[in-house]
Structure 1
């Protein structure tokens, strides 16, 4: 089956917001075994939106529209789609009650009259409850063609798609598509792909595909089967083989678990605490860790020591170390890692010092040079890295490498 995505909103056309929904939906639909040949963006214009919908339905089995379901006059997706399908709108009592309840719980205020526009649904449409907003999702079916209307905000579209739309689409397939993920750190993309090249060459069902992420490689194993149980049986030998080849470099097989979450779980299991000392990353590492729910069980405090004075005063980095070797040096990273662990009374620590760019580099210490220190139970390890991206990328990679280093040391010291 073929699927086509239409993103609705003038703000997308003008570049005011980044269209992350299209990338998300395309990836999810591919995993469901749907073929996508077209994507488009249409502004809040009735005529152009109608043209886009009619064209999409003429060449694709399924049309997924995101955005344009809000309460204002320029939100036209539902109205135009209903027109194309020849459906009248009616007020859905269930949706109206959910909107009322949402306002009572979230806004503690009365519903404004224009919000009742969101309770209008096309005749014969399947209504998909929105558990994170007021605009419901809608599914219209006609003569083998399907239009799926989803709200625009990512925090609404993603849970709705995963909870309701993906199962609906999966049932349309003669065989269901199921997948498992192996997330890997400590190995680069090229090496990881080389290690599974024979599996990729011989693949039929299941298949395996690598995806490069910042500082990580994700391997997705996908199987077609008429039941999830059979798919799991097909994927089990492949997953076992991946563990044989990559071992503990696989930090999770759970789709939604991040590297930082896996590390927080390790620290919790070992009854350990961690702290951070950052210079060039300016708190990004602390942010990654504290994004994890429950991180407060293992992360008590962190330090941003951008200046030499702060490194001396807060982390007790020796002045002679800074004078002789500089702030960007393995010696300073070592003393930062050791000093912050003692300052915070933590079992483990990470330190980052480097030159993120675009300026500040020299021939001896170029932009992208970063030293990362890791302290675990009295042992300190320092690694040197040369990143070649822009300032943002260099900082992102430094954080990813720091997390990987911490995980390696936690495994080593267990």
Structure 2
């Protein structure tokens, strides 16, 4: 079954609100075997919304809308669906009763007159009950097409989907199969090199499919299989992963929800080592990513956000002469920071980050110039990097790069031990 998701609301087009509904719907629909082929966002304009709905009817079997079911004049999704389906509405007393009860639970004696609009249901539609809001979802079939209208607030949309929509879809369409994906996470390699190595596989792909994309300093390979059941899909994904690993196994550090922080944690636990971070331009983001992993207190002893030269001197004992002669954004300062945080917190490994995340030059150093150092086994390693994105994205890429460098040094230490 071909699915188009239509999200409505001028605020989405203006970028005022992040469209998390379409992400949630797409992930779930694909996981239960429905082909989401189109995403469309349209503002609160009757003519344009009608055009979008009519276009969706031409290319999709199931049209799912999100938003526009509220009590205001700008909430027009239901009215426009009724227009293209040539139907009218009636006051559904059960829905009106639930709306009334919802307000009473909140301590409001009665709903406003505007809320009555939400209790009107298109003739022929089934109500998808909303237990956390006032706007019910709706299921309407017209000329072999299925219109599913969902409320816009994410909590309400998810409630309707989990309790009402997903069970109904699976019951109504029993032979759609499943679509499953597996994501391989790579580090230390560029997208073009991965694409070159996998070119033969990508050219020959059918089912499963192979897709590459870059995200914040890492490369992701998404394998997607469509099959009759989960067991068959898992088998297909395992075979596809095996083929991919023949070409890029050395770069793969995790699968699906794995993160660099989790990978670093596994290595630290395996080797019985602890770590500490000294961060300047990344503002503590690297250590934050490490602490996203449950149980990270076993190996992360602490973090110092030494954003100013004063903090670098007083907390990490970076020499004043170093800061004066080489500046805070320098290889020399990074090395002293890494040693300083390791000594301060008594960790096996000290990782430091200092640089200029942007958007303007600092201390005469260009935007994106960053030094990352790792102090371990009485040796200090330092790398120079240049990041060329926005300040926010630079910070994340810098933090990810620092974690990846720590992983490299732990792997090198392990290989040295194994060879001795």
Same fold (TM over 0.5): yes
* Secondary structure at 1:399 match in 2: helix
Unaligned runs of 5+ in 2: 415-420
Question: 1:372: how far off?
Answer: 1.0
Query: After superposition, what is the alpha-carbon deviation per residue over 1:78-109, rounded to whole angstroms, capped at 9, x for unaligned?
Result: 454356543545255799499859x97xxx75
CA 30–228 in structure 1, closer or farther in 2 if over 3 Å, else same = closer
Q: 2: CA distance between counterparts of 1:251 and 1:162?
A: 33
State yes or no: 1:259 paired with 2:268: no
* In 2: Cα distance, 1:129 partner to 1:3 partner: 22
TM-score (norm 2): 0.78
Residues 2 and 34 of structure 2 are in contact (CA less than 8 Å); yes or no, is this contact kept in structure 1?
A: no
Deviates more, 1:156-165 or 1:183-192: 156-165
| SS of equivalent residue, structure 2 residue 92 | strand
**Aligned partners of 2:63, 2:252: CA distance in 1, in Å?**
37
Q: Which residue of 2 aligns with 1:320?
A: 321
Deviates more, 1:331-340 or 1:150-159: 150-159
Aligned residues: 406
2:338 paired with 1:340: no
Structure 2 contact 71–117 (Cα < 8 Å) conserved:
yes
d(CA) in 2 for partners of 1:301 and 1:98?
Answer: 52
Give the structure with higher Rg (CA). 2
Deviates more, 1:46-55 or 1:367-376: 46-55
Q: Match for residue 113 of structure 1? A: 111
Q: Name the CA distance, whole Å, in 2 between partners of 1:337 and 1:177.
A: 46
Unaligned runs of 5+ in 1: none
Where does residue 177 of structure 1 map in the other structure? 179
Aligned twin of 1:193:
195
2:126 corresponds in structure 1 to 125
Shift of 1:204: 2.3
CA contact (8 A) 1:281 1:352 kept: yes
Residue 43 of structure 2: aligned partner: 42
Contact 2:102/2:133 (8 A) holds in 1: no
Deviations 1:204-257 (A, max 9, x none): 222211111111111111222211211221221221233343335323222x34
1:230 corresponds, among 229, 232, 250, to 232
Superimposed CA distance per residue, residues 302-330 of structure 1 (whole angstroms, 9 cap, x where no aligned partner):
22212222101111112232233321222
Distance 1:191 1:353 in 2: 29
Secondary structure at 1:367's aligned position in 2? coil
* Residue-by-residue CA offset, 1:119-168 (whole Å, 9 max, x unaligned): 776554262767x8665544433332122233434566578768986784
**Which residue in the other structure is 1:355 paired with?**
356
The whole-number CA distance in structure 2 between the counterparts of 1:333 and 1:162 is: 50
Distance in 1 (alpha carbons) for counterparts of 2:100 and 2:330: 58
Does residue 241 in structure 1 map to residue 239 in structure 2?
no
Higher mean alpha-carbon deviation, 328-337 vs 32-41, is at 32-41
Q: TM-score, with normalisation over the residues of structure 1?
A: 0.79
Cα deviation, residue 189, structure 1 = 0.9
Residues 10-159 of structure 1: pairs in structure 2 closer than 5 A:
10-19=10-19, 21-22=21-22, 34=35, 36=37, 39-43=40-44, 45=45, 49-50=49-50, 52-70=52-70, 72=72, 74-78=74-78, 80-81=80-81, 84-85=84-85, 86=87, 88=90, 90=92, 92=94, 96=98, 100=102, 113=111, 124-125=125-126, 127=128, 137-154=137-154
Native 8 Å contact 1:125 1:140 kept in 2: yes
The answer to whether the 8 Å contact 2:185/2:252 transfers is yes
SS in 2 for 1:222: strand
Q: Deviations over 1:46-93 (max 9, x none)?
A: 565455434432443222212224455543434543565435452557
Indicate the larger mover: 299-308 or 326-335.
299-308
Change (3 A) 1:197 1:55: closer
1:242 and 1:48, CA in 2 relative to 1: closer, same or farther beyond 3 A? closer
